[in-house]
Amino acid sequence: MRGKKLLALTLAGMMALGSLTGCSGSNTEDTAGKPDSNVKSETVADNGEQITLTFLRAGTSENVQKVYEELIAAYEKEHPNIKIEYEQVGFGGELETKLNTLYASGMAPDIVRAPISTIAERASRGQYANLDSYIENWEEKDDIMPSALEVASYDGHNYGIAIGIEASFLFYRKDMFREAGLNPDTPPADWDELLEYAEKLTVRDGDAVTRAGFSIPTSAGHSTFIPFARQNGAQLVDIEKNVPTFNDEKSAEALDYLSRFSKENLLIPFINNKDDNPFDSGKAAMTYGNINSYITLQAKEVDWLDELGFAPGIQKEKISSFGGCQIMFMSEEGKHKEEAWNFMKYLFENENVWKLTTEAGAAPVKLSLKEQYLEAYPEIGSAYLEALEYAEGMPKVTWAALFEEAICTAYEEAMYGKKDGQQALNDAYDWLMKEMKN
C-alpha cells in the first residue's frame, strides 16, 4: 500500500509541474509555431557517411558532465559514423551569450540541453525546431510524463522534451539540531521559525561564521529569491500583460527578509553555481537542495548522510519551491535533424534515463520507471515528491534572461547591504524596462 500511495503522489507531483510552464507573451515572429515541413532531413542509413553533431549543454556539474560523456561514448560506439562534439556552458548570461553567438554566426548546435527560460525567445525567433511531427511518430511518447512535454511547449507546439525535472526542498542536519536543542524531527515551517532556527544553529569564532545556520548564496541568487517572493504572495511577472512586477511590496519584503541572514551574520558567503555550498562540506545546518545535491553527497561518502532530514519547504502565505526542467531542444537550422532526433531518442531510452536519474540527479521522466525510482530512494522520495507539488519555475517570456539578470543584481545589492530590498528591486525594474525597449 505504501508503494502505491507514493506512486500516486509521484504522478500527482509530476503532473503538478505544469505550473512550471507558465504562458508566453505575444511578441512572436511569423516563424514561431509553424510545424517543421522538413522532418525527413538527410539520413546516413547504410552509406557510411561520417556525420558530426554538435551538442551544447547548459550546466557545469562534474557528475552530470561525466554521465553525458559516457552516454555519448556509448552512442558513438554503436554508431561509428556519428561523431558528437559535446560542449557545456554555465547557466544564465554565459548560456545566452553562447547561444546568441552561435545562432548569429550560422553555427547553431544541432542539439541544445537548456532550461525553461530559453523557450520563448528561441522558439519565437525560429531557432529551436518544432518537434510536433517527431514526437507524434515516436513510439515511446506515451511513456513520457505529460509534464515533460508540457513544460517544453510554446505557443501550442512542442519544441523540446524535458530530460531532467527538479524541485528544491529543505535539507537539514538532525545532529546539529540536537546539538542546538532543537527537535530533529521538526524542521522549520515558516519564515519566523527559519530565522529563529538559523540563529540557534549558527556557530562563530569571534565574528567569523564557522557554521551557517541556513546556507543561501550571496550572489547569483535568483533561484533563492524567486520562491521566497512567491511564498509571500508575489507574482513577479504579469504574463498576460507581458511585463515584470517584481518591484511590488511583497517582493521587496521577501528580499529584505533574505538579506537579514546576511546582516545578522548567519551566512558563509558563496556564489551560486560557482562555489561549493557550505552545507556540502558540513559547514551549514540547513539549505535548499535537490536530488542532485543528495546524490553528490552520496558520492562524496560524507559520514553524516544518515543525519540528513528533509522537508518540502518553507511557507509564509504558501509553500513555494524553485523548480525547473532541463530540456532537450533541436536547432531549426541544423543540417542533420534526423540524426539529432535519433540521438535524442537514445537519451530517452529507459536505461539511459535511469543512468541520468541515479548518477546525475534527475527525476525520471518515463512513467515506466516510477516504481523503480521510489524503491531506489525511500529515504528522500516522499519529501521530494511533495516538493514537486509546490515547484514553480522561471516565467516563459522572451525576456527571461534579462529578468534573471535583473533579479540577480537586486539580490546581490541587498545581500551585501548596498540597498534595501525596495530600492534594489526598483532599480532592477527600471533597468529591465529600458532593456526591453531596446
17: which 3 cell numbers?
A: 509541474
The per-residue DSSP string of 310-353 comes to EES--BSSSB-EEEEEEEEEEBTT-S-HHHHHHHHHHHTSHHHH
Task: Return per-residue pLDDT of the chain as tens, 438 residues.
Answer: 333 333 333 333 443 443 443 333 333 333 333 444 344 333 444 456 899 999 999 998 888 999 999 999 999 999 999 999 999 999 888 999 999 999 999 999 999 999 988 998 999 999 999 999 999 999 999 999 887 888 889 888 999 999 987 789 999 999 999 999 999 999 999 999 999 999 999 999 999 999 999 999 999 999 999 999 999 999 999 988 989 999 999 999 999 999 999 999 999 999 998 899 999 999 999 999 988 788 889 889 999 999 999 998 899 999 999 987 889 999 999 999 999 999 999 999 999 999 998 888 777 889 898 888 878 887 787 777 778 778 888 888 889 889 999 999 999 999 999 999 999 999 999 999 999 988
Cell 546539529: give the residue.
176
CA 381 to chain centre: 18
pLDDT at 12: 39
- The residue among 333, 378, 372, 330 whose CA lies nearest residue 351 is 372
The whole-angstrom separation of Cα 324 and Cα 396 is 12
pLDDT at 167: 83
pLDDT at 47: 56
261: which 3 cell numbers?
A: 541572514
CA 102 to chain centre: 23
pLDDT at 22: 37
pLDDT at 251: 98
Going from the C-alpha of 52 to that of each of 77, 84, 338, the distances in angstroms are 14, 6, 12
Phi, psi (rounded to 5 degrees) for 113: -105, 115
The whole-angstrom separation of Cα 415 and Cα 423 is 13
Going from the C-alpha of 304 to that of each of 119, 260, 345, 374, 392, the distances in angstroms are 40, 29, 39, 22, 30
The whole-angstrom separation of Cα 286 and Cα 197 is 9
The whole-angstrom separation of Cα 397 and Cα 22 is 9
Q: Where in the chain is the domain with CATH 3.40.190.10?
A: 22-166+323-386, 169-320+397-437
Phi, psi (rounded to 5 degrees) for 349: -65, 145
Provide the CATH topology of domain 22-166+323-386. Answer: D-Maltodextrin-Binding Protein; domain 2 (3.40.190)
pLDDT at 234: 97
283: which 3 cell numbers?
A: 559547514
Interstrand relation of 391-392 and 82-89 (parallel, antiparallel or unpaired): unpaired
In terms of phi and psi (left: phi > 0; alpha: psi -120 to 50; beta: otherwise), the region of 129 is: beta
Instruction: Write the CB contacts of 315 (distance below 8 Å, at least 6 apart in sequence).
Output: 189, 190, 231
The residue type of 212 is A
Instruction: Write the CB contacts of 231 (distance below 8 Å, at least 6 apart in sequence).
Output: 191, 254, 314, 315, 316, 317, 318, 319, 320
> Residue 266 carries which DSSP code?
-
CB 250 within 8 A of CB 236: no
H helix runs in 168-221, sequence order: 174-179, 191-201
pLDDT at 57: 96
| pTM listed for this prediction | 0.71
pLDDT at 248: 97
pLDDT at 31: 37
Superfamily (CATH) of domain 169-320+397-437: Periplasmic binding protein-like II (3.40.190.10)
